[in-house]
A and B are shown apart, each in its own frame.
Chain A
Amino acid sequence: MAYDVDAIFQIAGIGIIVAMIHTVLKQMGKEDWAHWVTLIGFVVVLYMVATIVDDLFQRIRSVFLYIGG
């Protein structure tokens, strides 16, 4: 099994921590920093998601397109 439940908690954890940092930085009056933190967290999670979606599409391609062909 290539992926396990850890990845879900990882993504959710990143989301919660980023939300926390965002709130704290906003309270300190550093709005632009808060936006950068959100953006970086988003990119990290997006990378993880893109990796698994790519894996899924490769698998779909190998299962549906090359059987009997």
Chain B
Amino acid sequence: MTLDLLQMVGFGLVATFLALLIKEQQPAFAFLLTLFVGAMLFFFLMDYIEAALTMLDDLANHANIEPVYLETMLKIIGIAYVAEFGAQLARDADEGTIAAKIELAGKVLIFVMAIPIFRTLLETVLSLLPGA
């Protein structure tokens, strides 16, 4: 695990250096390099994220939580990661407006995904109220 971390940091530093080198002549290539390395590091991390999520899934199964809730939560986490990834890349290329829109899209989608859970919560609270 430590070796993997060293490897990822090494990737990052090498890519940073190379991107600095190209940025002078061809900024577009530097951006593509950044995108490539970002995707690559994220790709490595997916193994660890998968392990953590599997553990979470086991816990939820033991606790008899309805799978719909866990699924929604995982989707929300996924949306957050992906939106952050895209927004930071866009901001890196000095496209603040697009970055803001990507973040907005992430926020709206998260809100929409959370609506069924929110409705269930409201119904539970209402059923607890006397005379409802």
> Are the chains A and B members of one assembly?
yes
**Chain A residues with a Cβ under 8 A of chain B:** 1-3, 5, 7-9, 11-12, 14-16, 18-19, 22-23, 38, 41-42, 45-46, 48-49, 52-53, 55-57, 59-60, 63-65, 67-69
**Chain B residues with a Cβ under 8 A of chain A:** 10-11, 14-15, 18-19, 21-22, 25-26, 28-30, 32-33, 35-37, 39-40, 42-44, 46, 49-50, 53-54, 57, 60-61, 67, 70-71, 74-75, 77-78, 81-82
CA separation between A60 and B83, bound complex, in Å? Answer: 12
Residues B46 and A60 in contact, CB atoms below 8 Å apart: yes
Chain B interface, DSSP helix/strand/loop, else mixed: helix
- A51 CB to closest chain B CB (Å) equals 10
Residues A68 and B18 in contact, CB atoms below 8 Å apart: no
Chain A interface, DSSP helix/strand/loop, else mixed: helix
CB neighbours (8 Å) of A23 from chain B are 25
CA separation between A7 and B41, bound complex, in Å? Answer: 13
- B62 CB to closest chain A CB (Å) equals 12
CA separation between A59 and B40, bound complex, in Å? Answer: 12
Residues B43 and A16 in contact, CB atoms below 8 Å apart: no
**Interchain CB contact (< 8 A) of A68 among B26, B36, B60, B81:** B60
